[in-house]
Amino acid sequence: MQSVTPKRAVRVAERVREEIARALVRDLDDPRLALAVVIRVEMPDDLSVAKVMVRLATGGDEEAARKRLLAGLAAASGILRKRVGQNVGLRRAPELRFHYDEGQDASTRVEELLAEIARQR
């Protein structure tokens, strides 16, 4: 029986996620990025673009905080792209596109609404 290995894009995306997370902690001194958490990275098979899903460890329910985070990441994208290119071992570093991951916020809100309904009964 042959073992199944993940697609190259999935493996590279995980390496990119690790490098960006490491750089946020070690290399960048921007207060807008202090509470940033890299959730996941998605990449196409040609590895040209990395869709980086991020969120805030706390304060993610504030739209202004989300915008500050994304602005900080956009400002640091050149540094992050260079770091990814050097440490992941790709011929060409992927373009980094940052998006706020609202999935956790939505599920938390649903739980809050369900709890409120239960209290009203």
CATH of the domain at 101: 3.30.300.20
- 79: tokens are 């540094």
Domain count, the chain: 1
pLDDT reading at 100 higher than 90: yes
Is residue 54 situated within a structural domain? yes
Q: Identify the three-state secondary structure at position 55.
A: strand
Is residue 1 situated within a structural domain? no
Is residue 62 situated within a structural domain? yes
Mean pLDDT of 59-85: 92
Q: How far apart are CA 48 and CA 119, in angstroms?
A: 50
Distance of CA 37 to the CA centre of its chain: 6
Expressed as residue numbers, the domain containing 13 is 8-120
Non-local (6+) Cβ contacts of 43 within 8 A are 9, 10, 12, 13, 16, 49, 50, 51, 94
> pTM (2 decimals)?
0.79
Mean pLDDT of 101-113: 73
User: What is the model's pLDDT at position 105?
Assistant: 63
Is residue 27 situated within a structural domain? yes
Torsion angle (degrees, nearest 10) of CA 29, 11, 98, 64: -70
pLDDT reading at 49 higher than 90: yes
Is residue 66 situated within a structural domain? yes
Question: For residues 103 and 115, which has the higher predicted lDDT (pLDDT)?
Answer: 115
